[in-house]
Chains A and B, each alone.
Chain A
Amino acid sequence: MNRLALELPGLSLKNPVMPASGCFGFGREFSQLFDLSTLGSIMIKATTEEPRYGNATPRVAETPGGMLNAIGLQNPGLEKVIANELDWLKQFDVPIIANVAGSQTEDYVQVAKEISKVDNVHALELNISCPNVKTGGIAFGTIPETAKELTKQVKNVSEVPVYVKLSPNVTNIVEMAKAVEDGGADGITMINTLIGMRIDLKTGKPVLSNRTGGLSGPAVKPVAVRMVYEVSQQTNLPIIGMGGISTVEDIIEFALAGADAFAVGTANFVNPFICPELIAELDAYLEQHNVDHISELKGRSWK
């Protein structure tokens, strides 16, 4: 019996576990460690129209149970991502979710239009929640009307389903989810990082060169679970849940909260073998608990 296979808009998933964008590069490093075809999907690093170096270092700071990052959307740009990275990924039997970012609406539209034409890109993840860039990013993800309008514009040009990645840095997450649903989103991925800061006691200044960064890791999991719990009750969109997942129990918790599939972020940095390990453990867990399919658990906490 296949307890893990799942159909979501645009995505035929062998299993519901995938690395989260920004935590897996374009997969090259991990391909030396395990067969990428074992993954449900890969959410590739955010792609912008032009190449970006990102922020100055230090870009990462550790915190209890988590880390702050302010990479700043470093990537080789749309052209190279398509020619080098996506083309290279074609050797693996895995659908790609392309994370699309930009500074203004036109950037998102241009990247979405081109990247959605690539064969192995089966869905887009609209990044309206990056906290580490001066323009764009989170600016699109905190005002419902703006998020709705951007979703609409990207939907107009995309050849594959569009998932919108929500930011937790909002007062009302449900309002944001409903806005992107109104804009025509096919799914939601949540949550991006929480904005945080660490200050160096020796210098008296913020540790990160960008001053603030996005908090991820086990520390943010309760926030993510709460938000998935709220959003899943108020929209009909499928949810790819993420935020601190590092054990099979975390996956179960997200499923009970209302997530359909699960993305693993920071845990890839601690244990690069985590995704294949979790896939194997999830299957064993479901068998042990007499669950015929992962979808049976979805939203049990509120149903």
Chain B
Amino acid sequence: MIQKELMTVVSQSEIAKDIFEMTLKGALVEQIDEPGKFVHLKASDEMMPLLRRPISIARIEPEKKEFTMIYRSEGAGTKALSRKRPGDAVDVLGPLGHGFPLEEAAPGQTALLIGGGIGVPPLYELSRRLNDKGVKTIHVLGFQNESVAFYADQFAELGETYVATVDGSLGEQGFVTDVVNRHHLKADVFYSCGPTVMLKAVEQLHAAPKGFISLEERMGCGIGACFACVCHPAEDETGTAYLKICSDGPVFKAGEVAL
């Protein structure tokens, strides 16, 4: 169930250039039942920014009533968030949207997780859950360069992990798709999150017979009411059909959305 709660900051640190890892505590965590769902945050009562900011969830720890998110401090909203210190409150609405379907990977099968930039975080909780149920995970993480890369070690603890950077400053030079092709990576299912151009390229890899992608988009309300984050479905005879990324997604079956 969607709740609104003033959650407490447990910790916050800058883990890469402008990339922050923040852990929040509160009862709302019990509602987060699936990796890939997101929270909609307001860092202050100020009139600017007025709207909430959608942030993905990187780790869920229900027993401690904590979840961790990793976000890029970029605009006014995320900058305000990055100034929060342990003990401060953050207004959280969530969990929102539909997450990654874990049931699409059976124990003993292999899942390929492909993330780009700030699309990497939700794949971490996904990988933890998949490994918990006996699914082998292969990770391909793409970043602009070494200074903004994060969590390569944490992913490596869970399974085979490849890192790609555009300038080659960390891991292999190139895009995530280059890495998948170079190593002939194959799986039973793929899960991906990142910029739309990357998702489009990942869909065309056909590295697995089925896959799921999580779209990033600017959002208004985050619950499906404002129609700000709509997209076209791949099959649409009339041209008037639509999907809302916030509430129908952000995770969609590969091929479902016109990218």
A interface residue numbers (CB < 8 A to B)? 23-25, 28-30, 32-33, 50-54, 57-60, 62-67, 69, 71, 74, 76-77, 217-219, 266, 268-273
CB distance from B33 to the nearest CB of A (A): 15
Which A residues lie within 8 Å of B230 (CB)? 53-54, 57, 59, 74
Chain A residues within an 8 Å CB radius of B218? 57-58, 60
Identify the interface centre among B48, B227, B229, B247: most chain A CB within 10 Å of its CB. B227
In whole angstroms, how far apart are the Cα atoms of A273 and B93 in the complex? 10
Cross-interface CB contact of B226 among A64, A66, A69, A271, cutoff 8 Å: A69
* Interface CB pairs A-B, < 8 A, 22: A23-B225, A29-B223, A30-B225, A52-B240, A53-B241, A57-B218, A57-B228, A59-B227, A62-B50, A65-B47, A66-B50, A67-B50, A71-B226, A71-B228, A74-B227, A76-B240, A219-B47, A266-B50, A268-B221, A269-B221, A270-B50, A272-B2
Q: A218-B47, A273-B4 are in contact. List 10 more A-B contacts (CB 8 A).
A: A57-B217, A57-B228, A60-B218, A62-B50, A62-B51, A64-B47, A69-B220, A74-B242, A218-B50, A272-B221
Chain A residues positioned under 8 Å from B241 (CB to CB): 53
Task: Verify if B59 is at the interface (C-beta below 8 Å from A).
Answer: no
Cβ of B224 and Cβ of A53 under 8 Å apart? no
**List of 4 A-B pairs having minimum Cβ-Cβ separation, nearest first:** A51-B240, A65-B47, A269-B221, A60-B228
Q: Which residues of chain B are near A218, meaning CB under 8 Å?
A: 47, 50
Q: Give the contacting residue for B220; candidates A33, A60, A63; CB below 8 A.
A: A60
- A71 vs B2: C-alpha distance in the bound complex, in angstroms? 25
Q: Are B93 and A269 in contact (CB under 8 A)?
A: no
**CA A270 to CA B220, docked complex, whole Å:** 8
Enumerate B1-27 residues with CB–CB distance to A below 8 Å.
1-2, 4
Q: Which residues of A contact B223 (CB under 8 A)?
A: 29-30, 33, 272
Q: Among A53, A60, A71, A270, which residue has its beta carbon within 8 angstroms of that of B239?
A: A53
Asked whether A29 lies within 8 Å of B247 as measured between CB atoms, the reply is: yes
Q: How far is the CA of A71 from the CA of B220 in the complex (A)?
A: 11
A23: chain B residues at CB < 8 Å are 225-226
| Contact in complex: B228, A24 (CB < 8 Å) | no
**Chain B residues engaging chain A, CB cutoff 8 angstroms:** 1-2, 4, 42, 47-52, 93, 217-218, 220-221, 223-232, 238-242, 247
Contacts of A67 in B (CB 8 A): 50-51, 220
Residue of A nearest to B76 (CB): A62
Contacting residues, chain B, for A66 (C-beta < 8 A): 50
Nearest-neighbour CB distance to chain A for B83, whole angstroms, equals: 19
CB distance from B143 to the nearest CB of A (A): 21
Given contacts A64-B48, A67-B220, A217-B50, contact A269 B2 (CB under 8 A): no
**B1 touches which one: A32, A52, A76 (CB < 8 A)?**
A32
Cβ-neighbour of A57 out of B2, B47, B229, B247 (below 8 A): B229
Question: A272 to B240, alpha carbons, bound, how many Å?
Answer: 27
B258 to chain A, nearest CB (A): 12
Residues of chain A contacted by B227 (CB below 8 angstroms): 25, 54, 59, 71, 74
For B221, the chain A residues whose CB sits under 8 A away are 29, 268-269, 272
- Shortest distance from the beta carbon of B55 to any chain A beta carbon, whole Å: 16
Asked if residues A269 and B240 are in contact (CB atoms below 8 Å), the reply is no
Bound Cα distance from A54 to B238, whole angstroms = 13
Which B residue sits closest to A51, measured CB to CB?
B240
User: Is the beta-carbon distance between B240 and A53 smaller than 8 angstroms?
Assistant: yes
**A29 and B50 within 8 A (CB):** no
List residues of chain A with CB within 8 A of the CB of B2: 32-33, 272
Q: How far does the alpha carbon of A29 sit from the alpha carbon of B227 in the complex, in Å?
A: 12
**B225 to chain A: which residues have CB within 8 Å?**
23-25, 29-30, 268-269, 272
B contact residues around A57 at 8 Å (CB): 217-218, 228-231
Q: Is the CB of B228 within 8 A of A69?
A: yes
Shortest C-beta distance, B76 to chain A (Å), equals 8
For the complex, what is the distance from the CA of A219 to the CA of B47, rounded to whole Å?
A: 9
Asked whether, in the complex, the Cβ of B51 is within 8 Å of the Cβ of A270, the reply is yes
Asked whether A65 lies within 8 Å of B48 as measured between CB atoms, the reply is yes
For residue B51, which residues in chain A have a CB less than 8 angstroms away from its CB? Answer: 62, 67, 269-270
Which of A65, A67, A217, A270 has its CB near the most chain B CB atoms (within 10 A)? A270
